[in-house]
């Protein structure tokens, strides 16, 4: 958990085995007003993949003043239902808790996804 004063905690989003899907998700989430200026693509670890600086394989979202959980859950569920390929997305909070979402499973349980992501993000926002 980032406890530095004035620094928003970060959510980390990864997409398993689908490098272009992360870019697609980034482009999708950039359309949300709640996330404007709060999204970044970053390497998960320096030097990953043998390239200087690593591959851009993590999407980070700086949490703001609230409401990000519902926006992320709604937007992520919509993005997943429009994907033609099955992808697995993991959303990890700054406290280490995470939610893993499988695209083919979310199509049948959008309300469940919304609850899980909202719970993860709202718990993080309340700890600020």
Per-residue HEC secondary structure of 102-120 comes to EHHHHCCCHHHHHHHHHHH
Helix and strand element counts for the chain (H, E): 4, 5
Domain ranges of the chain: 10-126
Rounded-to-integer distance, Cα 17 and Cα 37, Å: 27
Beta carbons of 102 and 86 less than 8 angstroms apart: yes
Task: Return the structure tokens found at 87.
Answer: 């992808």
Q: What is the pLDDT along the chain (128 residues), one digit of tens a residue?
A: 334 445 567 889 998 877 788 999 999 999 999 888 899 998 876 554 444 445 668 999 987 766 777 888 888 888 888 876 778 888 888 888 888 887 776 666 767 777 888 777 776 555 54
Task: Return the structure tokens found at 53.
Answer: 């600086």
Q: What pTM, to 2 d.p., does this model score?
A: 0.76
């Amino acid at each position: 958990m980032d406890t530095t004063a004035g620094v928003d905690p970060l959510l980390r989003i990864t997409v398993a085995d689908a490098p272009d899907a992360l870019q697609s998700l980034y482009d999708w989430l950039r359309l949300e007003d709640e996330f404007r200026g709060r999204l970044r693509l970053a390497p998960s670890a320096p030097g990953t993949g043998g390239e200087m600086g690593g591959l851009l394989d993590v999407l980070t979202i700086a949490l703001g003043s609230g409401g990000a959980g519902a926006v992320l859950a709604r937007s992520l569920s919509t993005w997943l239902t429009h994907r033609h390929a099955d992808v697995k997305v993991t959303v990890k909070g700054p406290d280490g808790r995470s939610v893993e979402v499988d695209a083919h499973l979310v199509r049948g349980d959008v309300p469940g996804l919304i609850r899980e992501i909202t719970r993860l993000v709202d718990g993080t926002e309340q700890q600020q």
